[in-house]
Amino acid sequence: MLAADGLAEAASTIEWQGRRVDVRDGGWVLRATAATGLELAAGWTTSSLGEGFFSLEAPGASVAEVLGWAAQRPTVASIEPDFVINPDSLPNDPAFGSLWGLQNVGQSGGVSGADIDAVQAWDVTTGSRGVVVAVIDTGVDWMHRDLAANIWRNPGEIPGDGIDNDGNGFIDDIVGWDFANRDADPMDDHGHGTHVAGTIGAVGDDGQGLAGVNWQVSLLPLKFLSASGRGSTSGAIAAINYATRMKRDFGVNIVATNNSWGGSGPSEALRDAIAAGGSQGILFVTAAGNDATNIDALPSFPASVADPAVIAVAATDHSNRLAGFSNFGLASVDIAAPGVGIVSTVPGDATASYSGTSMAAPHVTGVVALVAAANPSASAPEIRAAVLATATPVGSLARRVAAGGIVNAAAAVAAIRGTAARAPLPVPSGSAEDLAPIVVEAGQVARGAFRVPPTGGSVVITGIIGDSRFGSHDVDMVRVSVQAGQTLVIDVAGLKVGDAAPVDSYLRVFNTAGRQVRANDNIAGSHDSRVVLKPRRTNVFFVGISGAGNTGYKPDAARKSRPGSTGGYELTLSFSRLSGTRQAADAIRLLGRADIPQHLSQSQLFLALAAEAFQTEGVTIRR
């Protein structure tokens, strides 16, 4: 059976990779290629965390002793301390009793309409119990009168028979698992996890208590934080791996995990576990943290984990302002949601008002589940794109979170069902053969730009210049996030799209202040254009594509400048992988010279031949 010690009551501070971190005394997390051959020192023990991860107990051993031991073991692929994790809630006035985050009419003194538009979304769907969300937290009061009907039940287990009926490594895991106390009862003995669960899916329209973002959903409690609200990366990894295995091996439709906790060190093992879940289509929604810090500069984990499965969430108040305690970061935090004075369920059939990015994250997780219910065939990248691309714009958040605003349930649901005026489109993932171009009418200005989430591979977008009301003055804007040390190759090639002939393109790149930092007209004697970016710091850029001649438009206002040529184009964004990190594009193959077809345009050919020079693992050439 899998095991994890989620309790982290005995903790200490050590120096690790140049920073002071809190760790569980004697606790380590390792990944091994084989369970045999570890040859533990006297008094040391290991237990499985699943998927090749192990928790190592080395009481009294120094960092140097443990690292020296690991260096002599060929089967140890990686090892790191078991970092201490804490929940991200800030308890607030328990008398605050209005669900302004779902529908804000100014009842709490805030701004009417400063909410997630849940009521409008409910006109389309109120959720589905066929959609499963894992709540990785302090547990859930799964008998709470407003949650009980929405608690997941394991159909492969027979209650109380003491047998692992479904063969998943856990005995009688009827409603989930407790990795803190190592038993089958993930009952919340703290309150935090129950509060989170209520926002995601308190039963709605039942004449009692509260309503969550989803009136019906299946909540899977996975407890790893103890009664004191503390835990460790080993417990978190075990819980994440449980969700991954249940979806991969047992077909449980887990669309997301809610992770309202933080404070861990830069755990590579945690990154790997998140990526493994992402590979199975599980989104990892997490709180941005409550340190009022720009985490682009000072990373906070797991919010700062660079993986396409991650959605990091900042908190706002009832007036659409960033909460004073909330972390932020244009490159690291994806979106914002209500997180101040949030009323939800707590153990004992009660309710309470809490504040924190912990309260913001479940609003987004709830929207993810609602979107999945609205379109059961939607993939995880499609759901993520719908949620992020349809955020309600808020001026004060434009340079604080990547989406530039607050999650909008109604717009995301409309987009995934194809009923929005301009539906968001997914960033492709998978093998090169599976990649299809994204067809997009991008925003005319930076604020409405089509957003490309951070990646380590290649994204292909097709569009038309001249198909908007601006005619030959048309501009398509795309927003990209580039990590420090990454190389981004931006290539615009003329392409016949429908009745539109290939465009003679002009390419401009702007920073977030609206200043042009790069521009290009013709590359290698063609009518195509190309720019290479390699920023010293993580940054956001706006890529503007227009027809040749239209070179003086403003990126912050839809005003006419000079008319340009019109026609179709293909935009290829090729991001290099960061050294030492794992990216979603691992599965996208790198094309070698022998694979380059002869009919490529000059700019496409140049891009392919430059792949090695720019270390662009994951270049995808459209054939």
Catalytic positions are 137, 192, 358
Distance CA 329, CA 401 (A): 6
Q: Which two tokens stand for residue 122?
A: 């409910």
Residue 60: phi and psi, rounded to 5, are 80, -5
Cα 324–Cα 326–Cα 329 angle in degrees, nearest 5: 120
H/E stretch holding 287: strand 283-287
Which residues in 538-621 belong to E strands, given as ranges? 539-547, 567-575
Residues 594/596/602/608 CA torsion (nearest 10 deg): -80
Residues 444/448/452/454 CA torsion (nearest 10 deg): 130
- Of the candidates 224, 198, 191, the one whose C-alpha atom is nearest the C-alpha of residue 92 is 191
Residues 49/334/192/88 CA torsion (nearest 10 deg): 90
Distance CA 163, CA 171 (A): 5
CB atoms within 10 A of CB 450: 23
Task: State the sign of the Cα–Cα–Cα–Cα dihedral 294, 342, 240, 414.
Answer: negative
Say which residues have a Cβ less than 8 Å from residue 152's Cβ, sequence separation at least 6: 132, 175, 176, 218, 219, 220, 221, 252
Say which residues have a Cβ less than 8 Å from residue 350's Cβ, sequence separation at least 6: none
Distance of CA 327 to the CA centre of its chain: 16
Residue 572: phi and psi, rounded to 5, are -115, 120
Given a contact cutoff of 8 angstroms between Cβ atoms, the answer to whether 573 and 461 are in contact is yes
In the chain, what's the furthest Cα-to-Cα distance? 77
H/E stretch holding 216: strand 216-223
Distance CA 422, CA 408 (A): 15
Pairing of strands 475-482, 76-87: unpaired
